[in-house]
Structure formats: C-alpha cells, structure tokens
Structure 1
C-alpha cells in the first residue's frame, strides 16, 4: 500500500448525478464482459490490474463525504470456481452490488471455455464508457505495453459548465421524468428479485443502429406506435483528448412518432446532437445539498409509484457504446472473441438495452428487474431487435438445408482397404507404366506405410510427397494415410527454394521422393528423404506363381493405423497475401464428407475411368485420386505436362470417360478438332467457367455428357458447390453458375459490414459445414482472420469471393473483394509475388497485377519494379523462377522509373503501362519492331502467335519472345496446338512436338518457325 499522504493525489468532488446514485445505495453496477480463448493467469491478471489502476486512479476511489478519494488500493481480482453461463447471465457474482464506500471497482476471472473476464464498477463512480479505458489498459499491461492511463479529475458538473454556450442550455423536452410509459417487459413485481439480463448476438455492424432499434421498439411496444427513449451520450465527444474514468454521460431524449421510419428518427437524432441537446437533461445541482436519507426516500417513492402505475420514465434506455477491436482485449495466450456490456436500471427507469460491436458482430443485452415472465419477454424483445437488424429472410436460405448422414463412418483409409478386398484384380491405375491392380497398388502402399511406421511416423506426422502423376506418387499417398500420417504434396516443378520453404513451414519429418528427384536440393535438414522406388521394389515385383496375394490383407500383416475424424489427412499450400504461402490443413472428417458427396454428385462408380491431369500439389487432384479408387474405378496417369497432343491421345485412345480439370485446360481442349466419344462427365473447377467455354465443351463431348461446374477453395476441401451446365437455359448468361452447396455444407452471403444480404443481393461467400479445414499450419493469426464465427456460433471460412443467389435457387459467382486471382486454377496472391521480387538486392518496390489479354482465356501476371541499381527484366525473371512456382512467375516484368498513385495514396493499377503497348517511351521490356516481309511459314506462325498473345501481328518479328510478350505456359500450349493445326501437316506434328522442351526454353518466333520447317522437311523426306 502506498504512503497515506500520497492518497490525496487524485481526488474530485461528486457531481449531483453521482450523489443521487449514492443516495440510491450504489445498487446500479456497470459491467463489461470479455470472453476469449486460451488461458489467463490469475496472478498475472492481478498484477496487470494493479498497474493499470495506477494509471487510471479513478478505479480506486472511495467516497469521503461529497468527494471521491484515491484509496491507493488496486481493485480485487476474484476467481470464480463455479459455473458461469454467458448466455443466461445468472451468476450471483454479477448481481452483487459495489458500494460507493469502496471498493468501487473489481474484476472477475472465470476460467473455462471460454475464459471470461468481467470488469465491474459502481455506477456512482463511472459510466459505461468511463470503465473502458481501464479495461483496455489492463490488457495492454498483460501484453507488455505501457498503459495509456486516464488521469483527468473533473466531474460532469464541471465539464458541463465548460460546455455551456451563450444563451444557456437547450430546454428540457416536455414530459421528461413523468411515469407515463409502459415497459416492453411488462410490469415490475412488487418485490424485486434483483436484476436479470438477456443477451443476443447479431452478425455485422449496423449503421444508425440506435435509430433502427428505438423506432422498432416504439412501433411494437409504444402506445399507438409512439414512444420516448433515453439515449446516453458520451460528453467526451466534445473533447476527444480527454481521458477520464468519471461519469461523463448525459441522456438525449428522443421521441418517436407513429409511423416514423428509422431514417426520420436518425435524422432527428443527428440534428439534436448537432444542437448539443444532450446537455439539457442534467441532474439538478441543488440535489448535492440533499441529505442521503432524503435521497433514499425519494428513490423509494419513485420505485413504488412505478410499480403501482405500471408506468416508467421512458420506453427504454438505449445505449450504443460503439465498435471495438478485439485485439485491444487480448494478451499473450488469450484471444478475445466477444465483448459485451451489462447495464442496470434506476428508480422508475425502463429496461436498459446496451449494444457493442466487435469482431464483425453486434452484442445486444437487455437489463431489468427480475420477475415472473420477464426472461421470456426479454427474449421476445431481442427477437424483435434481431429481426430489425438481421431479418430472418436474409439469414436463412433454403439452399443451406443440406443435412445428410454419411452412409458410413469409415475413413478413406478404411474405404480403400475394403475396396481392395472386394476387387483385388481390377485395374486401379493405368498409363505409361502399364496397369496396376488394386492389390498391386495396395501392396505398394503397405510397403510405404510399413517403413514409415517402423521409423515412428504416425498420427500428426507430416510426410512430404515429391513425385509425379505416377504409380509411385499414388502409392506413396495411400501409404502415408495408412500409416496414420498426413501427406504434404509438393510439385516436382517447384524450385528448390520453394520446396525447402514449404517442407520447413509444414514441419515435414519425412519426404517420400520418386527416383528422378532424390538429389533435389530442396529437402531441408531434419526432413529424412525416403526413395519411393526402393520402398516399393519388392512390392512392385511380379507375384510368383502360386504365391499368396498378400496385398489384399496387407504388407506381411501390416495393419492400418486407426484414423480419427479429426486427424489430419493432408496439407496443401496456397499463395499468401502476406508474402508467405499458407498451409491448409484438411482433416479426415472433411475429406470423407467430400468423397461421399462428390461420388454421388458426379456419378462416379466402378465404370469410371478418370485421368489425373492436375499437379499433385493442387488439391483438385484429390477428386481424380480418391473418387474412382474408392468406387472401384480406374485412374489414368498422365506423367507429362498436358499439351494438345497428349490430350488428344488421352481423349481418343485412353478409354477415359470422365474428366476433372480447370476451365483453362477445358478451353485448350476446345481448340482441338476432335469429337471424343463415351464421356459421361466433365468436372470443371479452379476458375470462373465462361458459358462460351462450357457450350463448346458440350458440343465437343456430346449432349449426353454432363458439364459440371464445381466451386470450392482449398479451405473447404476441394469443392463444396456444383452446377450442371444447361446449354439452353444458360445460353444468355456470361458465366456458368456454381450451383448448390454440398452435403452438410452452408454458404452465407454477407456484405462488407458482415450483415446478411437480402435475397438476390451480392455478398461475400462465407462457407460453413463439415468440409471446413482445421485452419492454417502454424498461423493462428490467419485462422482468426479467415475462420471467424457467425453470431450463432457457426464456424465459417471467409472466401473473398462474391456471389448472389439466383431466383432458380443456385449461386452465381460474380468476382472478388480483393486482388487475389486464379492462374490456371491456382490461387495467386499478387502480394506474395511482389514480395518475392522485392527480395532481389536491386529492387526497392514491386507491384504485381493480373490482366486479361484480348482473345485469351484467363489472366496473366505482370510485375512493375522500382530499382536502385541496374537490373534487367531477364535477371528478375530468373530470380523469380528460382523461388516461385511457374504459375506465379510474371509473364512480363517491367523496370519503371516511378509508380502512379491515386489521390488516396494507393498504386493506381489502371494507370500502369501495358507491357505490350506500342506507345513510344513506355516503360516495358524490349519490344519487337514492325515486321518485315516474311515467307508463308513465318507469316502463318506469327498469326497464331498474335491470336494466342492477343497482340497485333505487326508487333512480331523473328526475335519476339513468347514469354516476354506476355505468354504463360498455358497460352504457350495453345500456341503450339495452333501451329500444329494451322501450319504443319499431320505427319510433321510428332516431330515438332518432340522439341516441346526446346520451345519452352527458347520460345522465339525464329525458333518455332525453324522447328516447323524441320518437321515439314522430315515429313517430306519420309514420303520420298
């Protein structure tokens, strides 16, 4: 305790209003409640309260006569051991009054889930806004920061005198103080049972919320639709620099007339605040002279009159405390998730309605005297408020009625083992390596699982998988899952730096490596490489005649690890807006739900033959691997990168009858002059599907083939909505809808303030349900940002995608809320690409944007770089190629002297130069000059290039570089297909495509023309 002589350092006289509340016995208590996740140490909290109270001495006051005096004693922290219901709020600790004689403040700590902290204060010493600076400072101290403090000593009487203007205060509105208003919660009981609170959480932030609430309550509960309300106003608004814990609020009297809309009420409130009308309703200063016994008698008389008449001084006290950042109420090991306040009532006072906004939600509480039926009526009042702010018709969409029980509770591991037992000799895999039966695949997977288990891998172990679309890659995947571990697929085409970054971030303990990549330098220390080919050598050997088919029962008795629904199945890394890739963690529960829904939705069965076209590091590949193998179907492996020749062979000769690919690849296929037969389903996912592309695919594959547009971010396990394209019904659309949610999946459309949009309105998609990811690997900060909870507790993923619900019942994708783009189905955050370029020692700043080129599907990335040293675009491209996946390397990099900015200080992307512009002096890569006369072969190739790049033919000469002209890998494949189709004869196509690697590494017009001539010459020589 401090020296007694120092206690008088902080003191202030009581105001008339404070004296009146002292006369009431201090029974009105201000309480702010913080609920959060994690832990809070009681001792650490006690120390933080002491430090914060030193900076906010108004929390240590005790009354001495008509003055508040700093006691020097920090408020106590009470740890509650009993249950605490944050919904019914009936804990006795909340009803215990704090005396003006002190202590006037205290803190309650309730361990559990959630952890709850309650800041309490006697209303005679502070108001709701005055208590908040102290609460914020307590958490600042817990975070190791200095408290901001609230040292001001003036009281409300003194402050009001400072605010007086010539002409005096505004007049008090008529009827104020008379007991003439019914209570929305019914009459008070003659014998009160203390206060009762009820609470409701509503999604979103709601402008003009006070006007909306009081207008609705007047219409519902006021006599003939009219009503009078007290709206407390913080006087600190007149001096924003003032930091005080004192009671500095005054009630604004707001009248609502019959038929008034909230807009009119809001206008009147703004007008009244502009005229400072809240200063009118002040407590009579002469009450300070009244003895406390007289005040107590006065208070009791008002209470009795209110009970007798069943009338009160207004329809309600309605307080909106504002919006607050939850991080201000968080600390190390504790993250606030909810903040709300509990009000009180005084003599003759109506119910109190308090509102606070935080974390994208609005908390509403009602307080009044307890009595028979009051709780039920309070809930009914909250129903009314909720309907005004968040109408049920907006919150509940019929498309979200997706509840469906799983046909089995088995994991994909068990389902695959059962499938092997049913069909051991059926072909599971086919491709360049030949065919592999289910039993053969099972033997290989068991060999991998047995070795991982022998080395100690199991539940929670992350095993990286560095393999192609191959037998070894598929067997390695199943081996990891059978060991009970989590697989991390990485693309063999990624540079070593990217591999090392992903494996380190995921904490991979092992890396299963296919033979060609065993010497890669991207496997970090601490991650043990295991060569898949060696592990599977014995299992892949032909069975001896008469030998037991041990692959059916397991690898020499190997038993699958027990897999729980919440165990991790895989981790997929996606691009991150902070410059770091994000590892999405998918649990077995989510994967199982997807498999069952997608198998039924896409009609996958034992006759399905589905090619694996996408990279194993792209979660879409899960559709091609899991669905057919768990239904007894066949996976067709395509080891090489898809190009028009390999795709033509696949479509015409492989026996495939189902496809799973991106719209960009479908667009490429649409340029092939073929009519594949026997296809049942084409599943398209990863980008927006244009009707033009879908219609061309429908014509190519035939009317009996379903073109299904699937939507879903990695965070929602591959896909979570689907729509079957209807050529006639969708002909007038620009894009194909994304359809209805999957089983046990919900889609919520919210606006920028996190409010549910009206039917037909555009909103951001928030996904909920069984397919949501656990979160991001080692990124709790991103989990909180990207996986919030709705007001009803539903955990959701914020996609950033905009959509609307169509009158037909499905969803239509309409765009993004941010700069994220899709490149060949892969999600790309331009900020990550820019940050990678900024790692170059010559670069000061990089900006990356996505742009569509005329006549081309999809978008390409373009980078604009400010440099302080000489550097060429080629150097920067090589630098990016060594650190980023190919699809994230910009199609063009421009070194510019300056960046254009908008008036708000942001980079003006529209004003950035076009990298392919012909304007003189543009800041771009070296450009080709006007084309000179050329021979027919060069002219034909140049025309194909111009169409693929979306540039003028005159821009292309022999030195034109396809990549530097803005071409990406997919448009290069489209260019190659066009050259084969329009320039070469059929016999020269094979010879030309044999040089694909050369074309990719040296994609100049001269080189492509030379290869065309060589291929044509070879064809002529063969004919001779």
Structure 2
C-alpha cells in the first residue's frame, strides 16, 4: 500500500478526553501551537504544496466533526501568509487566538511570515483532534515534504478507547493516594470567574538540556508558591506503549504527580518514573460520560464548575507540566531554511490550571507558560519563569566576575588608519629590519600604497579576498598593508605547503588575484581563473597614495585551519575584531615605539599576527626572519636581531631552553597556541631573566589571535601542569558549559563558549559550519563553541583542561585527524583510513599516526612510499603523520566508531612508514659518528637504544619537527662542531625529507 492514503476513509469517534476541548469557550480556544523560527526562506507555494502532500499521508490533520465522530474532510489545512511581523509573539497576534473546532471548519492550519531572511512557521492544531505528539508528527512530515524525502505517514485512526482496549488497561489504577480533586491553588494566583478572559503566553529560554526537567519544574513551582507539597498534571503520550503506532490523534493522558518541596529533584523524578513504570498513565482517562451528554448541556455544566473553581482558586493541580521532548534541528529544516528556534504555546481551558510546556531544541530548553489573561497574571508568570530558570540554571553558574563589562576602545580607527597615522608621525623611524636592510615607515607606507593602487586598478576592493603567497620579506609586509589599504582582505598562504593544497585554498576562498613572491612565481600554485601577480613588481612601483576607506565591518583577512569534516575551513576576521585585539594587547604586553618583534613564523599561522600588527601601530618595528627556523637562526634572532618582544608556541619556548640559548634584552615573551606547562614557563623565566614578562595567551583563530592572557608567576605556577590562562579581555566573555549545554558549577570542567567583540564573522562559504560552531545562548548572545575544556580555579582564573574532540595541536597548529584520513582515502589504493594523535611517552605532546586499509592485495613495502608522497603533495608538513600502518580492517566499537584502543601501536609495528629501516631489529656495526648520533637520538626521543634498529627514521620513532631541530642542534655541537654547523644546517630540507640515522650521519661525517 502506498504511503499517500489510508486503506479506509479516516474516521474515529470523539473520545471523552477530546470532548472536553469541544466545550472550550471561544475566548480560550483549545489550540496547540508549534513555532518554528529560522534563517532562510520557505515560500508560500512551497509550504502549501508540502502541507497538501503531508495531509494525504497524515489524514488526521484534515478532520471535521460530524456529531461525535471525526471524519476526513479531504481538504488539506490552509496555509495563511501573514505580513512581516505578523507572528511576533510579543505583539500577541490575533491569528493565534482564532478557534479551530472542526465544526464545521478545519482542525489544523499553518501560518507563515517572512522578513529580512528570517522565516516563521506556526503549526496550529485543535487539541480535540490532535495531541502534542500528533502535532510533531505532522510538522516533521511537512518538512519531509519540503525536503523532497519519502513521507513516513501517520495513517492510523485508532481511538483512545481502542488503544486502551488493545493494551488491556482495565486493571490499571491511578497512583495510590493521589486522587483527582479540586483542592490546589493555581500556580499563577486567583482569577476572576466568568467573563471574556482571553489567553496570554510568556516564554523563557534556558541553556542546555536538563535530566528530570519535569521534576525540577514541579519543585520550582511548589517552592515559589510557598507550599510543602505540590501536585501537577503531567501529560503522557500513550504511544509509548505502542511505539509502532503512527497516529496524529489525541492519545494523551494526564496522570497526577506530587512532589515535596524539601526533597531533591532526584526523588521527584523517581516518583515520575515509578508512576510510568507502573502504567498509572493508562488509568488517567476522562469520564466516559463526557461523550454521552449533549454538548450544550456539557458546556453549561463545565461553565458552572469553572466558575466554582475560579471563585475558590481551586484546581486539580498547581499546573500542567508538559515536556515535548527533544526536537532534532534537521527534522524541521531544509536545504534553504535552518530552524534556529522551536517552541510550543500552552493551552488551558475551563477548570484547568496554568500550563507549562517544555521543548529541547538546539542545545536549549524552551519554556512557555500560558493561562487566562487576568490582571497581574502575566507578571506572576514572569516571576514563575524566574524561579524555574533558577532551578534549571542557577545564576551563580551563569555569572562569572571574570566576564567584565565591555569597555570603549582607547585607540580610534582601524589598524589601517592607525598605521597611516603612525607613518605620518614618524616617517623616518625604522619599521622593518632584516636581510634587506632597514625600511622606514614612510618607505613601507609608500610600497603599501603602490600595492593598493595596483590592486584597485585590477578591480580589487571592498569584499575582495587577495591571495598572498610569499615568505617573510619586505614585499610581504607591503603586500599585507597594501591589500588592507585597497579595502580588501588578504589570504596568507604558506609557501612551504604543497601547490595542490594552496590551489585548493584559493579556489575555496574564491580569490581572483593572488600576489606571489618572486621566488615562487614559477610554481604551479594559482588555479585557473585566478590572476597571479609578482608582489615585488607591484610593491616596487611608484603608485599613488590610497586614502584609508576601511570600515570596521570590512573583512581584514581569512586564515585557513584544519577541518574536522576533512576539509580546511577559512576563518573570516573583520577589522573591528582585529582592532579590539590590538587595543587590548598593546598595553598588556607593553608594546611601544621601542618594541621590536621578530617575525619568524608563516603569515598563514594566526600567531604571526601579533608581531605583524602590534609594533607598527605604535612606532615599533618588526625584525623579518626569512630563513627556515633552526638553532642557528633561532640563536641569531634571540641575540643579535635587536628583538625585545617575542610571540611563539610553548613548544618553541621549550626548544630555546633545550638548545641552551641565552636571549638578550627581552621584555615580553608571549606563548600561545598550546598548553603551557609550569616547568617550561619557569625555565623560560630563568633564561629570559626576571625583567621579562612571560605570558600565557589563549585564543582560537575564531576569536582573533588571543582573547585572554595571564602573566606567569614563578612563585605560584612553576610546579603546575598547566599555567592558568587567566581572564578574558575586557570585550570578551567566556562561558563554561557541559556536554548537555548547561552552565557548570565553579570548579567543574566545561567547554569554553567564547563571546564578545573579537568573534570572527564566520567561516568563508560554510554556513553549515557556522551553524555548528557559532551558536546563540539562551539570552541571544552569539558564541563560538571552541571545543577547548577549562575549569574555574579558586583564584577566579581559568585553567585549560584539554579538548572535547580528537583535535591535535602540532606546534600551535590545529590539526583535525579527520582531514588526514580523508586525504588518505582519496588514494585509489586505500579502502578506508583513520588518523589520531597518540600520546608520546613522558610528555604531554601527541604524535600523529594514521592507519590505512588497502583496497587491494599489493605489497605494503610498495604502497607505503606512495601514500607518503600522496600526503606530502596535499598536506602541510606538520599534518603528515609520523607513522602510517597498513591494517586489514578498522576495528569498530558497538556504535560503529573506530575503536582506537584496538588499533595496533605504531612504534615497532610492521608496515610503519618513513624510512626503509623502520624501528627495531638487529643493529649492525656503526662507526664513531653514527654511534654518537644514535645516542643523541635515544636521549632526544626518550627511547632505549634497542628500539632504533639498523637505519631508523626519526619521524617513525615519534619525532616531530621541533625535536628534529633539537637533535640536529645536538649533532651540530657534539659531532660537527661550531665551525661547520651552518653548512650542516643548510641540509635541513634534506633532513626533513629523509630523517634517517644513516643520512644524518653521512652529512655529519663529511663535514667533520
């Protein structure tokens, strides 16, 4: 049978429970409302067509009443389009009060209102024909139709009586000691009897989903009314006893729950669960006399009972508490529309107490209260919502003194305006130093103007993104400022990355012009459709002054980070966010006209922006370090470049001490991008001297470089496993939420949700990721869900506590192992793959590893080099795993995820890549040089000598780029000697490509 129609005409008798709704007064229609609000557009014709198709599969939505029988009218619910603002709940739209009694008119309808890219859809259903579950069945079916999916249908016409008969509920009784009587005051106080009262609603949104929410709400209401015991009607869907049933009909009973005000929510929740376990909900049926008395007579009897109840403020319960459960965002969204808010409006008729409805959606709990619109009841409803919110989400969890009020900026203008003003004040001051000689502010500004003018002549301006593939040169600095002056944003590209990856980023960012360094001009890194221009040629031309016309909401730069979906994502930072960061960081780090930051990391690394921008806004300078980092370059940078401020990762900070370097004259060292251990910070303090401030800075790329910082305190922090990250910037707020989206207790670990003026615009061209990571809290605050865990210390500061996911930090770079696995699976010889960061023994670091399932029966020895090359051609070096293991299949857990604990361990395993010798195995004769270097390897890697093997590969043994530099520095000093270290380190690219013991020994032996 097709889903489109029921086998027989839909008809069923009006049940006693449904008859109650037939005597509601017109002023209080018994209509349920499901509000769906979101971004994007659903047109009226689209919605009408979907409602028509959904009505055929859910005939219970097109009922009309013939006496005491519901029949299928054959007419789909009407879709009524309202003008913009027509569904603003605060305005109490009259369309929400229109009755839907099914006599003779319809029982369901849909309201639609669109305005400024926002759409609101309201599903309205007469409660006498549908219940809450039926309403949700219908709404989800309409959205299936909108998405063009197969409809599931809800054709069952079973009545309440038929279902109870099927369930054999005759012997079930109500909860012992709980009798239905009119003995309880309304949760919202007394109301007048009689009259055209009308109805009102009030709404509150609370962060998170809350176990035992009904019990918690019941306790909150009981305590708010000052009662020792409270009674509540709790609607229960009888379909729970027949989960195969697909019906929109009214199959809900309202058993009574009593709670004690002095008990905990767990006890109240247990009472509710016991009530359900004993099937007391089956007994909570309406009296069958409801369908045996003429409606006019019944209406008069109920009106008299309602007047009695109102006069004495006595009801069967304090309130009705209904929980609609959790609604999946995808169920009420389409490709062109994403639901952002879903809630329901209560209804309560004669002799009925106030109703409180709950729905979980989008990581929040929506709470609505409704009742007769009497003087003062709306105010009392707000007070009741306050009490419920405090029960679910106490204020002491939501409010943290570290989230200080925002403060105005002390420095006016965008960074472009500030740079130009500084160039005008100190045109002859040195802005850049390095191998190309000193460059003044006037010269840098002139070169930037030349770049800007050329770009504008090529049609580049506001809204454009310009690629910047260049090293750390004077032209690069002119390129950055030139792009910004042109009103565009720059996309920094790391020349060390494979051409194929750079092409992909340029395509993804929709770049039309890419500025390329002269030394990179011959590389094939610019895709078709993107114009390439040699940066040095543009910066060297005369050009014309380009006035600063940049607005705060203009895009400043786009930086790509690794993507958990297997695809890199571009973070969009506006000028406003960059300006706020600079305004905070300049005074904190003491940046002034005497400050010089070295620029030694890639412009594509967010960390470099501190050195790139801060000093040039206040008359300081930047020391350009174009060479790849090794111990000789690092030593020169720290001792003879004139630099006195430094921004780097904790890994590189640790490297400085491991290399035994002695920096000279530094005032500020900022460590960011990774966890900073107390021991590392303590050694840095000793090396840089007591006059130097060592700062631990935290801030994902999405919050613009850094959004909180803490100066290391040798007295308090030296023994800590993690130096606290301190307090957020004055214009940043940080909230700690648990896995259910609830604010955590102080001292408990929670995920950091970051808010404030430094939040990125979003991800370039990725609305799906925006919706996943940039969220709204219950109060409307826009936040970035970081994935970073933290806890609030007794000192009032925050301390890092790891990650919620598999993300790995490699020297400050974010690496999503899923991206590595996806690239591996693109190889035709790989059926499936997995990647993860495994702990390195004795450290807090992680080593990237990958496991691949071959697609055929080829030899592992032949496949591994192909996979290595495949990865190197597509990923940055820091994302290439140190080990690839070939395995017959990926072990899975019961829920279908990869079982990491069951994967073979990399070290010493067969199939480990990165070197023909692998690890372990017999060791042949070694000469003095090779034996000395082997000893250095064991010390740096923390491995026993017998783990090395004949010709081990440094990376296969768990080494990374920083430990490689440590090893090479030791070889330079212990084997090669100071005289030959520069020539030895000139082979760095070869060591990175082939980091084997034999290769390193050959080069060292030749120079010795």
TM-score range, shorter chain: over 0.9
TM-score by length of 1: 0.94
Q: What is the alpha-carbon distance in structure 1 between the residues aligned to residue 811 and residue 403 of structure 2?
A: 30
- Contact 2:864 2:911 (8 Å CA) reproduced: no
Secondary structure of 2:515's counterpart equals strand
Partners of 2:694 and 2:30 lie apart in 1 by: 66
Select 1:956's aligned residue among 948, 966, 983: 948
Report which stretch shifted further, 846-855 or 82-91.
82-91
Closer/same/farther in 2, CA of residues 484 and 430 from structure 1, 3 Å limit: same
Size of the alignment, in residue pairs?
993
Matches within 5 A, 1:738-777: 738-777=725-764
- Report 1:319-338 matches (<5 A): 319-338=322-341
Give the match for residue 33 of structure 2: 31
Three-state SS of the structure 1 residue aligned to 2:380 is: helix
Residue number among 449, 452, 456 corresponding to 1:449 in the alignment = 452
Aligned to 1:970: 962
- 2:900 counterpart residue number: 909
Counterpart secondary structure, 1:913: coil
The equivalent residue for 2:158 is 154
Q: Please point out which of 976, 999, 1003 is paired with 1:1007.
A: 999
Gaps of 5+ in 1: 540-554, 1017-1024
Deviation at 1:629, TM superposition (A): 0.7
Q: Structure 2 residue aligned with 1:845, among 823, 832, 840? A: 832
Q: In the TM superposition, what is the alpha-carbon distance from 1:991 to its structure 2 partner?
A: 3.4
8 Å CA contact retained: 1:25, 1:99:
no
Partner of 1:197: 201
Contact map agreement 1:593 1:743 (CA 8 A) in 2: no
Distance (Å, rounded) in 2 between the aligned partners of 1:228 and 1:854: 58
Aligned twin of 1:542:
none
Question: Aligned with 2:933: secondary structure?
Answer: helix
CA-to-aligned-CA distance 1:298-350 (integer Å, 9 cap, x gap): 11111111221122221010000100112111123211101100111122111
| 1:223-262 equivalent positions in 2, closer than 5 A | 223=227, 225-262=228-265
> Residue 389 of structure 2 aligns with which residue?
386
Q: Residue 277 of structure 1 aligns with which residue?
A: 280
- 2:51 pairs with 1:49: yes
Mapping for residues 850-869 of structure 1, pairs under 5 Å:
850-854=837-841, 858-867=845-854, 868-869=856-857
1:559 counterpart = 2:547: yes
| Partner SS state of residue 781, structure 2 | coil
How many Å separate the matches in 2 of 1:280 and 1:584?
57
Which deviates the most, 155-164 or 20-29?
20-29
Partner of 1:299: 302
Residue in 1 aligned with 2:112?
109
Query: What residue in structure 1 maps to residue 580 of structure 2?
Result: 593
Deviation per CA, 1:369-405: give whole Å up to 9, x if none. Answer: 0011111100000000000000000011111114111
Q: Are residues 1:887 and 2:878 paired? A: yes
Partner of 1:823: 810
- Counterparts of 1:486 and 1:293 in 2: how far apart (Å)? 72
Cα shift readout 1:663-720 (whole Å, capped 9, x = no counterpart): 1111111123232221101011111111111111111000110110111111111111
Shift of 1:934: 3.7
RMSD: 2.0
Contact conserved, 2:552 with 2:575, CA < 8 A, in 1? yes
Show CA shifts across 1:890-921 (max 9, x none).
1121222344444544323233333223x789
For 1:537-556, list aligned pairs within 5 A.
Answer: 537-539=540-542, 555-556=543-544
Is 1:695 the counterpart of 2:672? The answer is: no
> Can you list the C-alpha shifts for 1:392-445, whole angstroms capped at 9, x where unaligned?
000111111141111244111111111110111111010111111111111111
Q: Secondary structure at the match of 2:161?
A: helix
Does structure 1 conserve the Cα–Cα contact (< 8 Å) formed by 2:710 and 2:726? yes
The change in CA–CA distance for 1:622 and 1:239 in structure 2 (over 3 A counts) is same
Q: Pick closer, same or farther for the CA change 1:505–1:924 going to 2, 3 Å.
A: closer
Rounded Cα–Cα distance in structure 2 between residues aligned with 1:246 and 1:992: 81
2:983 match: secondary structure = helix
1:7–1:72 Cα contact (<8 Å) kept: no
Partner of 2:973: 981
Task: Find out whether 1:92 has 2:94 as its counterpart.
Answer: yes
Q: Give the 3 Å change call, closer, same or farther, for CA 922–623 of structure 1 in structure 2.
A: closer
Distance across 1 between alignment mates of 2:30 and 2:14 = 16
The 2-side partners of 1:898 and 1:147 are apart by: 37
Partner Cα distance (2:519, 2:780) in 1: 49
Give me the whole-angstrom Cα distance separating, in 1, the residues matched to 2:405 and 2:601: 29
In structure 2, runs of 5+ residues without a counterpart are: none
Answer whether contact 1:121 1:131 (CA < 8 A) is retained.
Answer: yes
Kept in 1, the 8 Å contact 2:659–2:966? The answer is no
Choose which of 602, 613, 625 in structure 2 pairs with 1:638: 625
Give runs of aligned pairs for residues 302-317 of structure 1, distance below 5 A: 302-317=305-320
- Match of 1:186, SS state, is coil
Please name the residue that 2:217 is paired with.
Answer: 213
Alignment of 1:670-749 (within 5 A): 670-749=657-736
Change (3 A) 1:938 1:557: closer
* 1:796 and 2:787 matched: no
Answering whether residue 363 of structure 2 is matched by residue 360 of structure 1, we say yes
Secondary structure at the aligned position of 1:872 is classed as helix
* Offset, 1:82: 5.8
Structure 2 Cα separation of the partners of residues 538 and 88 of structure 1: 60
1:650–1:375 Cα change, 3 Å: same
1:985 Cα offset (Å): 3.1
Provide Cα deviations, 1:445-499, integer angstroms capped at 9, x if missing partner. 1111001101111111110000001111111011100000010001001111101
Moved more, 51-60 or 983-992: 983-992
CA displacement at 1:31 relative to structure 2: 0.9
2: CA distance between counterparts of 1:360 and 1:408?
38
Deviations along 1:701-744, whole A, 9 cap, x unmatched? 00110110111111111111111111110123111111111121
Counterpart of 2:130 (choices 126, 129, 134) is 126
Q: Structure 1 residues 585 and 193 mapped into 2: Cα distance closer, same or farther (>3 Å)?
A: same
Distance in 1, Cα, partners of 2:132 & 2:191: 25
Task: Name the structure 2 match of 1:1020.
Answer: none
Partner of 1:569: 556
Q: Is the CA contact (8 Å cut-off) linking 1:585 and 1:777 kept in structure 2?
A: yes
C-alpha contact 2:130 2:249 (8 A) present in aligned 1: yes
Structure 1 residues 17-28: aligned runs within 5 Å? 17-25=17-25, 27-28=29-30
* Structure 2 counterpart of 1:877: 868
**Distance between the aligned counterparts of 2:510 and 2:332, measured in 1?**
31
Say whether the 8 Å CA contact 1:192–1:369 is kept in structure 2.
Answer: no
Bigger mean CA offset, 514-523 vs 5-14: 5-14
Residue equivalent to 1:263: 266
- Per-residue deviation, 1:501: 0.6
Q: Is contact 1:89-1:198 (8 Å) kept?
A: no
Separation in 2, partners of 1:691, 1:885: 30
Q: Aligned-pair distance for 1:968?
A: 2.5
SS at match of 2:188: coil
- Aligned equivalents of 2:735 and 2:758: distance in 1? 15
> SS at 2:603's partner residue?
coil
Equivalent residue, structure 1, for 2:819: 832
Give the 3 Å change call, closer, same or farther, for CA 950–878 of structure 1 in structure 2. Answer: farther
Tell me how far apart the structure 2 counterparts of residues 635 and 641 of structure 1 sit (CA, whole Å): 17
| Closer, same or farther: CA 986–958 of 1 in aligned 2, 3 Å | farther
Matched with 1:1021 is: none
